[in-house]
Amino acid sequence: MLTRAKVSELQQRVSHQAQSAEDMEDLKSKYTTITFDEVLELCQKYITKIATHAFRRESDPGRKREMTKSYINEFVDSQRPTVEGHYDLLSLKQALVDEITHYGPITKAMEDPAIDEIRANGPEQIFVESGGKSLAWDQHFSDREHMERIISKLIGVSKVRLTPKIPMVNARTIEGYRVNATHAEISPYDMPAFVIRKFSKKSVTPEMMIQNESFSANMFKLLSLIPKADLSWITVGPTGSGKTTLNEVLIKEINPLSRIITIENPSEMRLLRREGGTDHGRVINDVLQYESVPDEDDSSPATMENLLINAMRQSPHWIGPGELRTPGEFATALRAAQTGHYFFTTLHAEGDREAIYRFLTAYLMASNEPAELALRNICTAVKFVIFQEKLADGTRKVTSISEILGSEGLEPIVNPIYKFISEDVLEEKGTHRVLKIVGKHKRVGMLSEKVQQSMLKAGIKRSRFDFLTRMPDDNETERYVPDEYDASR
């Protein structure tokens, strides 16, 4: 028996097949035989349009390749194109499979879930990032032309092509990874380059982060109460420090019936929660996610700022811009906070106080408000700033959690609650390679009475945060045992 969802999927598939057929007919009307590059582009578009949710979420490289092969076979069988150099459909299928599912010397890096980023500065200069550390890759492209063919494949699903007139392209690979590529003409060495940012298909859990010493069990008690008590927060830190991953963990602590709207570019967070914890269960949380166009793309109205404005009309409890960049985005986010919405976001900043000043500076570029009034409004809207860093040993740690109490003149009043204190460095003998940053998380402050009242009004028992209502003992230690916080939830 066909379910409603299955019927919808079949209807969508028929619609996309019809569109692909129209694309093919348009080409056939112009040419008796089409080129391989043209049929490759059509096939990639076909897969992008018809791919199911299960395909996009699939994390096993082998399974993903098999699913891709089935889409390629379906495309060729339904369209039966006549392509230069391919006299039968079987050889065309194999050529498309090789071209779409393999990436030459970076194929293994694309498939390795432990690798987060791939960077190529030229045919023989390939680097990857794994576990927070950069490593030289042991394979390379045969020449510049080989590298350019792989770049074309990586950005093949986008509408833009890399040319001397368009020397920079932001796109997505068919797996959904973010890729930035640059043309050889803008390089003094006449070499193309690209960076691929991979997104993990597996959600990181609080237990995993505690075991990795990103934060302690007691720290997570506080972190989990911030969203539960409707306290807006900003997660700050350098690029690649894990801000989005941390926010995803915290967002899942929000009441599932509190409406959440997020806007990202590209979309990274997986926030849908399903009944029974399976991929096919009924969705149980009220969440709406949008993907904005890049800042430089003026062909679409779906900018971060416009989507933020629209989000305020969609009855959200929480609004979550993935990252604030332009003055207009900062101004709109503050307006959302002043009109009854709670918000979370990320910023690039070097600490809690610096994050507030970054917000103020950007906001004043879009507003005529006096600086003191603007700062007061920002410090009223932002309740907590969480600072996360990637250390030299590759670990990502929350290095401070601070409550924002308000402002005095042009000074934000910051109340530090937790800090990470570095003590020493363990090195590998002979090479001085950093093995571990030795340090500890330490509570250095207590929650204000105002935040305590907010937590109580949100229905949080005092016993869950009572340890945070008094100044810490010098002998107080932080434990990295997930069971400790599980018992109190």
Domain coordinates in residue numbering, the chain: 8-101, 106-197, 206-486
Q: Higher confidence at residue 129 or residue 474?
A: 129
Tokens of 235: 């997660």
How many angstroms separate the CA atoms of 126 and 137, rounded? 5
pLDDT tens sequence across 92-116 = 998 888 778 888 899 889 988 889 8
Q: Do domains 106-197 and 206-486 have the same CATH topology?
A: no
pLDDT of the residue at 50: 77
Overall pTM > 0.85: no
Give the least confident one: 99-103, 153-157, 167-171, 373-377.
153-157
How many angstroms separate the CA atoms of 362 and 284, rounded? 37
Q: What percent of the chain lies above the pLDDT cut of 70?
A: 87
pLDDT bin (cut points 50, 70, 90) of residue 25 is low
CB atoms closer than 10 angstroms to residue 367: 18
Task: Give mean pLDDT, residues 244-262.
Answer: 94
Give the least confident one: 165-169, 278-282, 451-455.
278-282
Q: How many residues does the chain have?
A: 489
Say if domain 206-486 classifies as CATH 1.10.10.10.
Answer: no
pLDDT of the residue at 57: 65
Q: Which residues in 7-34 are b (16+ Cβ under 10 Å) and which e? A: eeeeeeeeebbeebeebbeebeeeeeeb
pLDDT bin (cut points 50, 70, 90) of residue 403 is very high
Sign of CA dihedral 83, 89, 95, 96: positive
Q: Does the pLDDT at position 296 exceed 80?
A: no
pLDDT of the residue at 298: 66
Report the largest interatomic distance among the alpha carbons of the chain, rounded to a whole angstrom: 81
DSSP state of 466: G
Q: What percent of the chain lies above the pLDDT cut of 90?
A: 54
pLDDT of the residue at 488: 42
Q: Higher confidence at residue 15 or residue 49?
A: 49
**Amino acid symbol at 372:** E
pLDDT bin (cut points 50, 70, 90) of residue 232 is very high
Q: Does the pLDDT at position 28 exceed 50?
A: no
pLDDT of the residue at 86: 64
Say if domain 106-197 classifies as CATH 3.40.605.10.
Answer: no
pLDDT of the residue at 204: 84
